[in-house]
Structure formats: C-alpha cells, structure tokens
Amino acid sequence: MRFVDGPVRVSVPATSANLGPGFDALGLALDLRDRLEAEVLPEGRAGVEITVEGEGESSVPLDETHLVVRAMHAAFDLLGARPAGLRLHCRNVVPHARGLGSSSAAIVGGVVLARALVVDGVALLDDDAVFALVARIEGHPDNVAPALFGGLTISGRDDDFWSASAPVDPRVGVVVLVPPTGLSTELARGLLPDRVPHGDAAANGARTALVVAALAGQPRWLATATRDYLHQDYREPAMPHSLALVRALRADGVAAVVSGAGPTVLAFTLDGPDGEDTRSLLARCPEGWAGRHLAVSTDGAVVG
C-alpha cells in the first residue's frame, strides 16, 4: 500500500438525527461543515501532530486518542497499514455535544481522510465499506449516514448496518437554536425506558413514514409528522428548557423537534434564510442561545 504525496482535505456536514419520531433511523445533513486536512509525515517522523481551531480547540485531546485520529487508524487498519506519522488540522464549526452530529462528523471525516491518503483508496474501500466502518465506530448509523451520503437518510441495523437515501424538497431548510451548554448522548440515552406502550410505538411508526413523505414534497404535513412519542419527553429532565421551547413552538404550529439527543432545538422552515418565518423563528431564540438558518446539504463528506 502506498500513500499519496502532500495533504488531503475533507469537509463533513453537521447532521440532525431523529427529526422527531424517527428515533435512531432518520438523519438529515445540514450545510454547516467541519473541515479537516491531513498528510502522512515524511519517513523518519513518527507519531501525530494535531492542531484544532474553532469548536473544541481547548478541550479535545491532541494525541492519538483524538476521535478523528482514532477513526483514521481504524480505516488504515482495514486498508492494511498505518503510516508511522500523521499531521492533522481541524477547523471545527459544528457545536460539540449539542445534538448536531459533531462526533459523526469527526468519525466520517477521519475515515474518508484516511482513504484519500491511500493511493487507490476508493477502490480498496468503497462507500459501503466506509459506511459499515463508521457505523461500527459510532455504534448507531443515524448521524453517520447523512454525514457520509448527504441529504435525508433512513438507516438501521439487522445483522449489518444499512442505509437508504430519500429526496428532500429544495424549499426545506431549518432553523437551529443552540443552547450554551451541551448534553452527552450517553446521559440522554440513559433516560429512556426499556419499554414503551404499543400505541406510542405505532404512532411513531406512522409519523416516521410521514416525515419522509413531508420532506420529499408534502411539507404541509411537517408539523403533524414531527410529533414524537418515544424519546423527547423522557429526556426532559436533562434539557427542560429545550423541551419547553419545542412545546411552545409546536403550540404555534411550528414543526419543531429536539435535534438528535439534544439539547439543540430544530425547526423546519420553507422560506429561506431571509424569509418571514425564518426571521420569526430566530426572534424566538432564548437569550444566551445561538440561532441560525441552515440549508439541507445534499452532499455528505467531500474530498477536496
């Protein structure tokens, strides 16, 4: 196996999982991108050299435990050999621990970087193999699928992980309202019960299917489709302000949900970054939170 000369660059989108009822199944890529650059160090230089700017620059490890490096090593192992030395630079804009897929962006970015650093890497490790690897590293596929493939994805696991893409109406965008403090996915998952009522499961199944239809071209159904019965209310003790905001928005007919495991609140909008509905949603951003409009990203991880 040979490595390419010089650095390679990859950008990876933020993602929102669940979209209300599609727990551990639905994911959407958003036009907010972490940008990574890596190169194999010259012979005789070993170890990793890491620099980070933006999100996590003062908190993430700068050694081989860095999540991007761990993902790169997993890919190199699958490809057949690790380089002795790596240089990595991360420009992070996806908020950490906010339910916008920062860990999936790191994992997908690392694996795609490693593949791009190997001569004929795409032939040796195709997108299906990349997806299987990143889903195993993350443990569930709902964020890594849109981070890799872009757009709207429906994913899950039987014996193996699987993912399918679905169309998104070009009018659809989102407003994200991001709290100043984060929430770990582990804590959020720990609040979920082992069993839920059959009626709630049935209601969520119908609404998950309706979300796909609504996003594909029937957005009038988005408010109905995004009602969740399986996870959001159970997580309220960990993010009461987020759930209060979701309920207030939904009471006004807004298709609002908790993004992923939270605590970011996501609301669907159809009128673009300067539209009246978008401006109205941004005006409801709580003090101390950060609000912004994001388009849906049709591209997942991009090399170059």
Q: What is the DSSP letter of 296?
A: B
> Where residue 58 sits, what CATH number does that domain have?
3.30.230.10
Count structural domains, the chain.
2
d(CA 186, CA 215) in angstroms, rounded, equals 29
Same domain, 160 and 19: yes
Could you tell me if residue 2 is inside a domain? no
d(CA 289, CA 205) in angstroms, rounded, equals 32
Residue 121, amino acid:
G
Could you tell me if residue 3 is inside a domain? no
Q: What is the pLDDT of residue 257?
A: 98
**Whether the Cβ atoms of residue 86 and residue 38 lie closer than 8 Å to each other:** yes
pTM: 0.96
**Whether the Cβ atoms of residue 29 and residue 299 lie closer than 8 Å to each other:** yes
Radius of gyration of the chain (CA): 19
Same domain, 210 and 277: yes
Q: What is the pLDDT of residue 213?
A: 98
Same domain, 112 and 190: no
> What residues contact residue 17 under an 8 Å CB cut-off, 6+ apart?
24, 26, 27, 28, 99, 101, 142, 143, 259, 260, 261
Same domain, 246 and 273: yes
Q: What is the pLDDT of residue 281?
A: 97
Same domain, 15 and 37: yes
Q: What is the pLDDT of residue 1?
A: 81
> Where residue 193 sits, what CATH number does that domain have?
3.30.70.890
3-state secondary structure of 232: coil
Same domain, 158 and 22: yes
Same domain, 14 and 97: yes
Residue range(s) defining the domain that contains residue 28: 8-166+299-303
Q: Which residues in the chain show pLDDT less than 50?
A: none
Same domain, 202 and 289: yes
Q: What is the pLDDT of residue 286?
A: 97
Same domain, 180 and 285: yes
Query: Per residue in 227-266, is it b (16+ CB within 10 Å) or e — as a string?
Result: bbbbbbebbbebbeebbebbeebbeeebbbbbbbbbbbbb
Could you tell me if residue 200 is inside a domain? yes
Distance (Å) of CA 171 to CA 153, 224, 295 = 18, 18, 9
Same domain, 90 and 192: no
The distance in angstroms from the start CA to the end CA of the chain is: 22
Same domain, 18 and 158: yes
